[in-house]
Structure 1
Amino acid sequence: MEGWIPTKRLKKITEFADKFCGTVEPIHRNIYLYFDNVLRVAMTDGCANADIFFSKEFFPFKNTYEIPIQHLKGLLKGLKSNSSPFVRMLALDEGLKIELDEMILNIHSNKNSTIPKINEDKITFLFEMRLKEFLELLDFASVHSYEGEFIHFFSTKNNEIYALSENFNISAISFFIKNNIHFNRLIPFTTVRHIIKSLSLISSNEVIKIFLGKDHIILKGQGFIISTCSEVKEEVIDFKLPDNFIENKKIKISSLKKSLNRIYTSIPQGLPVYMVFSKKSHIVSKDKNSTLTWNLDLNFNHNYLVEIKPRKLRSLLARFSNDEINIGLSKKFIALFDNNKYILLKVSEYSD
């Protein structure tokens, strides 16, 4: 069967798949083109599966065609939709032919190709929110983690839903919504970042719905559905954000972000860096025979010492919407927070 697909649409699908499948496992860098009432594409990163509406303007066919993402990127590179508005696709038993200008991509049929499936049986609705807000919260809670780590997605005994990650002595926490369904899941960091990067290509005005499956989490939006694997933890978490602060005030973080940026540039990676909150707040680090100090325009009644990773902390601070945020200090934690985003820093030393 022959059909014509808008080049602009194929570009969007390819860009989405490129972000979603990532580069960690080259074996997963394919899309699966198939027909089920409409033309659809499926993909996987090995943990998360996605299924996306492609086009309703196409004749039915029976086969599934496995197409390397890299081939599509090469086919589309440098092309402008207005000069080459359509891509010709010919779906045959022996394979799929894609023609664009003078380029032809032939994909041979593979009977062993298996479409990444999404299990929608016995799923429970959790909540819905604007896609932009959901991605901002998920991004905040995961950005300072590393490959091989997990993002904690859970509800508490107080019926609050959070995403949380811990790295070094920093915790990044996002609050989503209240819900009386209790769950406790761990999602691979790499998959979380794939989901954020790919869904960021979709209109921010979209609404996303989140569902809970037996051992997976499902995200549904207009024209797409994503299922991600998750490690199930049985215990209900008795989690509560700290609020019993010794000191609590609002601060502006623009100068702090600049200082952290300078520190990251000035010192070798891996060197200990300390932030001191006191009447004369400052950041200090020692490199061989040198001591580097950056004074901060912050004043507190007591003394709090925190070891930090400058790049990671700056990355989190950059994701606050406002320059003015709240800071709460206690003997155990320093909390930086605004709206539904929280940074917790473990205090190494405290004194009056």
Structure 2
Amino acid sequence: MRATVELPLLSFWLRFCDKLIGSSEYSFGNVYFSYQEGLVVRATDGCLHGWMRVGSCEPFEGEIAIPLKLLKGFLVSESGEFLNLVLTEDEIVLSSPSEALRIKLAARRDKQVPVEHETVAWSDVPSFNRALDFVTSPLEEGDFALFGTFQKELLLFASTRTLLCLTQLKGETVKEFVFSFPYMSARHIVKALEIYGRDTRLNFGLGEALLLRTNDFTLQLCGEQASFDPRIGDFLVRGESYVLPKNFQRFVSKAAWLMPRESILRVECVKSTLRFFGGYGTVAYRAILPFECPLRFEVEFSPHKLRSALARMGSKLFLSAGDGFVKIEDSSSRTVVLRRQ
């Protein structure tokens, strides 16, 4: 097999692959070349898989594993326009006008392809990535998020012990669905789509996995079909709200700076003030923020997790309260819900 690949294009997709793989599992440090109407590169973190077409080539069977680190190292400071690939039974040779890299290959593996699926919705890359970045911002390894339809709207949702995040996503629904997926791979998608950086249509397909597809790539995310708690509808109702003072974000951030990650901050709304109480060991943090609001409530939350969510919201925040919860939202429907004490 012989192929010629544009170096800028290959370098771009290798940066994309690097974000898909992440840094948590060294064993997933390979990329895989295969043939599917051209030369295709695949990357995976074990749950998330991505396929990108990087050029034209002669047909060949199976998949070829190459360490991403080797490819990236070979392309450092490479100034040519094209990279030539020559594949034999037991090695692959990559060459530019001035350099060559010869890699002995292990036995070829069966080619992996995306699972069968049906289209369930579509949106656009920037909108989806902003929403995914927001809802997963307070999560940790081992947590899961939900994506799907609720009351005929596209919704992204994630929760922790002390708060939950949700946002509606602009787009169109073809079929009702809800899919649960792991936090770590979701963050890899966020980082990869930041590299991609193009405003284009993003189609969602569902089978044994969730698929995200553009004309340039296919991402396949593991997980399982799930359902939304119908009580989420209470959080989507926009009731009477009050503009939060801008210093609210500053006090939350300061508490996160002063207190360890496992700490809890208590906030009370009483007598036209917001009162902050936090501490650990011999350290105590107190703050009072004037707030002309008739609401009365007490909430407890992780300042670190709320800071992460607030950093991805608009500068003007609205506060409202419902039965058992307090809600903070911005004008783009990004919403954080805190449980009332």
The answer to whether the superposition gives a TM-score over 0.5 is: yes
TM superposition shift of 1:124: 2.6
In structure 2, what is the equivalent of residue 305 of structure 1? 298
Kindly indicate whether residue 264 of structure 2 is the aligned counterpart of residue 272 of structure 1.
yes
Q: Residue 248 of structure 1 aligns to which amino acid in structure 2?
A: S
Match of 1:131 among 103, 122, 125: 125
Distance 1:245 1:176 in 2: 16
Distance 1:281 1:207 in 2: 43
Cα distance change, pair 62–155 in 1 and its aligned pair in 2 (3 A): closer
In structure 1, what is the equivalent of residue 243 of structure 2? 250
TM superposition shift of 1:118: 0.6
Structure 1: runs of 5+ lacking an equivalent: none
Q: Residue 324 of structure 1 aligns to which amino acid in structure 2?
A: K
Q: Residue 264 of structure 1 aligns to which amino acid in structure 2?
A: A
In structure 2, what is the equivalent of residue 108 of structure 1? 104
* TM-score of the superposed pair, with normalisation by structure 1: 0.86
Q: Deviations over 1:280-305 (max 9, x none)?
A: 21222134444321222423223311
In structure 1, what is the equivalent of residue 148 of structure 2? 154
TM superposition shift of 1:59: 4.1
Q: Which moved more, 1:21-30 or 1:238-247?
A: 238-247
CA RMSD of aligned residues (A): 2.5
In structure 1, what is the equivalent of residue 289 of structure 2? 296
Distance 2:290 2:215 in 1: 47
Structure 2: runs of 5+ lacking an equivalent: none
Q: Is the 8 A contact 1:170 1:344 kept in 2?
A: yes
Query: Percent identical across equivalent pairs?
Result: 20
TM superposition shift of 1:53: 0.9
Q: Deviations over 1:26-58 (max 9, x none)?
A: 2222111122221111122212221111013x4
Distance 1:50 1:246 in 2: 41
Alignment of 1:1-352 (within 5 A): 1-56=1-56, 58-62=57-61, 64-77=63-76, 79=77, 83-100=79-96, 104-120=100-116, 123-156=117-150, 158-176=151-169, 179=173, 181-213=175-207, 215-233=208-226, 237-238=229-230, 239-242=232-235, 248-253=241-246, 255-278=247-270, 279-320=272-313, 322-338=314-330, 339-348=332-341
Q: Is the 8 A contact 1:247 1:330 kept in 2?
A: no
Q: Which moved more, 1:236-245 or 1:323-332?
A: 236-245
Distance 1:145 1:84 in 2: 42
* TM-score of the superposed pair, with normalisation by structure 2: 0.89
Q: Residue 185 of structure 1 aligns to which amino acid in structure 2?
A: F
Q: Which moved more, 1:168-177 or 1:216-225?
A: 168-177
Q: Secondary structure at the match of 2:121?
A: strand
Cα distance change, pair 10–294 in 1 and its aligned pair in 2 (3 A): same
Q: Secondary structure at the match of 1:187?
A: strand
Q: Residue 207 of structure 1 aligns to which amino acid in structure 2?
A: R
